[in-house]
């Protein structure tokens, strides 16, 4: 499979009164055509800022992509004009967020909101755009399309709204859909419907998906390839089966251990002790060392590099480095 997008050594920093926050710190990965890549990690690990960096939507001037390359086709998305980036956002790369309400206009009908980008980017006339909007509503599994098109956002449930967001996001036939915690705000049963909608949309168009989640249940269901982020860095990555069956990094193991099992009571659930370190407190040591069950002396001194631990499986952990023995 060909690479659709390649992120090389991407770093995105924020300047705050207290210092520099390295929200994303020198990460590299790629997404192939038709592939679903999940980015997983606890809150504050840099997942959303990775997405915003790709979309060219980092909050300036506090935040800035300070280094790297984002290769998409023959372009580097970090080098093109704002105008060109806007065109790519309308046509080739779409994004949906956790809260569909925050992306929809409360006083405009659903139908109109699906039609607008179709008229703007695909140059459809009103009648064509309306017909296409109805098709898209049905495509994301919602019946009574005409009635839905005439409704306002507050008249629909969260799960329906998220499916409408998917309809809008796929309406331009994007090559890449970025979904940032798309099901986090939804009930479990509704979550399943939304994930199914994503999967079907993907199958129909062979688009790639970059799915951000802190939920390993979602990862297990959706991912081809998994990237685990911790404190702005990639700490482990690999194919989904490999990663779930042979997780290497103690952080990934902790995340897997804390994955809820159906029927288990909440109080029986494991959680990794401690918290993601504040980005202002990061030192030369492994960022995970003080939460790690397997910490060895070198972990406190130097940060491990991401390296191959099995074919196509990378981890950044001293437990797998020969150098650590010395
Ligand atoms: N606008 C901002 N100003 C300062 N720091 C920010 C801003 N947005 C995000 N950050 C910091 O960047 C880090 C990564 O955030 P984010 O990518 O949103 O995490 P995630 O999506 O994994 O929960 C966090 O430490 C967060 O506090
Ligand atoms: Mg986030």
pLDDT in tens, the chain (326 residues): 789 999 999 999 999 888 999 999 999 999 999 999 999 999 999 999 999 999 999 998 899 999 999 999 999 999 999 999 999 998 999 999 988 888 899 999 999 999 999 999 889 999 999 999 999 999 999 999 999 999 999 999 999 999 999 999 999 899 999 999 999 888 888 889 899 999 999 988 889 999 999 999 999 999 999 999 999 999 999 999 999 999 999 999 999 998 776 666 666 778 899 999 888 888 899 999 999 999 999 999 999 999 999 999 999 999 998 755 54
Domains assigned to the chain: 3-92+174-325 (3.40.50.300)
User: Atom of ligand 1 at shortest distance to CA of 43?
Assistant: 23
CA 62 to chain centre: 22
Buried b (16+ CB within 10 A) or exposed e, 36-64: bbbbbbbebbbbbbbbbbbbbebeeeebe
CA distances from 51 to 41, 57, 210, 216, 250 (A): 14, 8, 9, 19, 25
Ligand 1 atom, smallest distance to 52 CA? 17
Given a contact cutoff of 8 angstroms between Cβ atoms, the answer to whether 63 and 24 are in contact is no
Q: Pocket around ligand 1: residues whose beta carbon is below 6 Å from it?
A: 14, 16, 21, 23, 41, 43-49, 59, 62-63, 279
* Whole-angstrom distance, CA of residue 85 vs CA of residue 210: 18
* Closest-lying ligand 1 atom to the alpha carbon of residue 24: 14
Question: What was the pLDDT predicted at 170?
Answer: 93
Say which ligand is closest to the CA of 50: 1
CA-to-CA distance for 159 and 182, rounded, in angstroms? Answer: 10
Q: Return the pLDDT at 253.
A: 96
Report pLDDT for 326.
47
C-alpha of residue 70 to centroid of ligand 1, in Å:
20
Ligand nearest to the CA of residue 98, numbered in listed order: 2
């Amino acid at each position: 499979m060909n690479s659709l997008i390649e992120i090389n050594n991407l770093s995105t920093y924020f300047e705050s009164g207290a210092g520099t926050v390295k929200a994303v710190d020198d990460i590299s990965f790629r997404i192939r055509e038709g592939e679903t890549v999940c980015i997983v990690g606890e809150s504050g690990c840099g997942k959303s800022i990775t997405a915003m960096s790709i979309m060219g939507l980092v909050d300036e001037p506090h935040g800035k992509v300070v280094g790297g390359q984002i290769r998409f086709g023959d372009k580097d998305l970090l080098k093109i004009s704002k105008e060109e980036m806007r065109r790519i956002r309308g046509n080739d790369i779409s994004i949906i967020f956790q809260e569909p309400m925050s992306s929809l206009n409360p006083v405009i009908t659903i139908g109109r909101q699906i039609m607008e980008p179709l008229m703007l980017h695909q140059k459809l006339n009103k009648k064509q755009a309306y017909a296409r909007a109805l098709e898209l509503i049905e495509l994301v599994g919602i019946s009574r399309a005409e009635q839905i098109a005439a409704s306002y956002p507050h008249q629909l449930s969260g799960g329906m709204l998220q499916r409408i967001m998917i309809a809008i996001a796929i309406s331009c036939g994007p090559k890449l859909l970025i979904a940032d915690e798309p099901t986090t705000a939804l009930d479990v049963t509704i979550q399943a419907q939304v994930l199914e909608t994503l999967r079907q949309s993907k199958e129909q168009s062979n688009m790639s998906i970059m799915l951000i989640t802190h939920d390993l249940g979602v990862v297990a269901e959706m991912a081809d390839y998994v990237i685990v982020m911790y404190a702005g860095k990639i700490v482990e990555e690999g194919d989904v089966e490999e990663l779930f069956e042979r997780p290497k990094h103690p952080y990934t193991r902790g995340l897997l251990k804390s994955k809820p099992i159906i029927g288990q009571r909440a109080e029986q659930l494991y959680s990794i002790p401690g918290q993601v370190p504040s980005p202002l407190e990061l030192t030369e040591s492994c960022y995970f060392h003080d939460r790690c069950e397997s910490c060895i002396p070198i972990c406190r001194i130097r940060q491990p590099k991401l390296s191959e631990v099995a074919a196509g499986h990378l981890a950044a952990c001293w437990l797998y480095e020969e150098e650590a023995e010395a």
